[in-house]
Amino acid sequence: MYGTLQDERVRAGVIGAAAAHLVGRGSVRGALYDLGEYPALVDTTADERVPGTLLALRHTAALSALDAYERVGERLYLRRRVTVRLDSGGDVEAWVYFYARSVSGRRRIAAWPVRAIASSRPR
């Protein structure tokens, strides 16, 4: 997770407090843009990295809830399996949500700021 779901309160509201456990910090290839209330991860051909938190889901219902939150059915985000580079070393495959619309005119950011995480609401 690289955005609003890093906030445990937001995440608990979407998938439940016990639906996932922390694996660790890591990064994925891509670029991050500020959309105001939430960030947009887009793919890039360069070796740019976006930091985030890797969680293991305890049940498949959590993945369905995340798809609904990320509005996959409306094609706001697309869920793709990518390689996560763990800060502790090694790589792991994981589901990641990529923004499916244009980021033209949006501000590029290195990471989703902590102050934004604390104030985010589910969309």
- Predicted confidence at residue 108, as pLDDT, reads 95
Reported as a single tens digit per residue, the pLDDT across 20-76 is 888 999 999 999 999 998 999 999 988 899 999 999 999 999 999 999 999 999 999
Measured CA to CA, the distance from residue 34 to residue 111 in angstroms comes to 9
What pLDDT score was predicted for residue 49?
95
> For residues 21 and 18, what is the distance between their CA atoms, to the nearest angstrom?
7
The per-residue pLDDT for 114 is 53
For residue 69, count CB atoms less than 10 angstroms from its CB and return exposed for 0-12, middle for 13-18, buried for 19 or more: buried
pTM of structure: 0.86
Fold of 4-119: Hypothetical upf0131 protein ytfp (3.10.490)
The pairing of beta strand 91-99 with beta strand 107-109: unpaired
pLDDT given for residue 1 in this prediction: 64
